[in-house]
Amino acid sequence: MATDGPVVQVRGEAHQEVPPELARFAVTVTARDKDREATLARLAERAAAVRVLLDGAEPAVARRETGDLRVRPETRRSGERVVAWHGSVTTTVTVTDFTALGELMLRLADQDQVEVAGPWWELRPDSPAYRAARHAAISDALLRAREYAEALGARITALIELADTGAMDRPMFARAAFEVGDGGGGGVPDLELDPQPQTVQAAVQARFTISEPVLG
């Protein structure tokens, strides 16, 4: 692209830490029995108990997705004879109310043959934090260009090109695995979880024309 006058090319960057907006954790229910039908029945029963707890936690629970269903036989090393059946199913839970997160995770972990892992802290895909970071990166590029121009005794006259270089945010997570519950039904202790700040980054490449510099 033809330009009139000298050109300054700069890179603008932004690094910001913002509070997370979502917390995800995984709940895995397991069952084992010598009989396959009994294994499936126990797995369904325990999964239903988890669903009841999650139903009672709404509206703090924004989303839940059940997947990774596994049913497999356990065989003896000496042959193919099945000695037991193992079953498991995992549900990923997304929570927006962090004040209820610790208690919910512990209540789930207190269930029989249930393991809880997480949380993973995140921002929403459409979080305003991304837009704010992009704006900050553009402001940084403009500031740098002005500083270079002023050092030459010139000023910015026009924007030639602006490109997003594709910097991404850095999700932060904290993982805590809770042991399988024994179904004792005792009181659930308090658990305070500290949300981890999320680092959001943005970067742009910009080219500006400047007035004739004053040299010498």
Give CA–CA dist 111/56, Å, rounded: 15
Q: Among 46-50, 77-81, 113-117, where is mean pLDDT lowest?
A: 77-81
Cβ neighbors of 81 (< 8 A, separation 6 or more) are 75
Question: pLDDT tier at 180 (50, 70, 90 boundaries)?
Answer: very low
**Across the chain, what does the average pLDDT equal?**
89
Fold classified for 1-19+124-171+196-216: Translation Initiation Factor IF3 (3.30.110)
pTM of the model as a whole: 0.78
CB 196 within 8 A of CB 18: no
Mean pLDDT of 76-99: 90
Q: Among 59-68, 72-81, 83-92, 107-116, where is mean pLDDT lowest?
A: 72-81
pLDDT at position 42 is: 96
Where do the domains of the chain lie? 1-19+124-171+196-216, 22-122
Q: For the chain, give the percent of residues with pLDDT over 70.
A: 88
pLDDT at position 190 is: 75
Q: What are phi and psi of 139, to 5 degrees?
A: -60, -40
What pLDDT digit, counting tens, does each position of 194-216 carry? Answer: 999 999 999 999 999 999 998 86
Question: pLDDT tier at 123 (50, 70, 90 boundaries)?
Answer: very high
Give CA–CA dist 49/104, Å, rounded: 13
Tokens of 128: 């305003």
Question: pLDDT tier at 169 (50, 70, 90 boundaries)?
Answer: low
Per the DSSP assignment, residues forming a β-bridge with 134 are none
Q: What are phi and psi of 100, to 5 degrees?
A: -95, -5
Concatenate the DSSP letters of all residues of 128-160 into one string.
HHHHHHHHHHHHHHHHHHHHHHHHTT--EEEEE
How is the beta sheet containing 82-95 ordered, strand by strand?
Answer: 61-75, 82-95, 22-33, 114-122, 173-178
Tokens of 100: 């209820």
Cβ neighbors of 209 (< 8 A, separation 6 or more) are 3, 4, 5, 6, 7, 8, 156, 157, 158, 160
Q: Is the pLDDT of residue 102 over 50?
A: yes
Tokens of 170: 């850095």
Give CA–CA dist 149/6, Å, rounded: 10
Tokens of 96: 């927006």
Mean pLDDT of 147-172: 85
Fold classified for 22-122: Alpha-Beta Plaits (3.30.70)
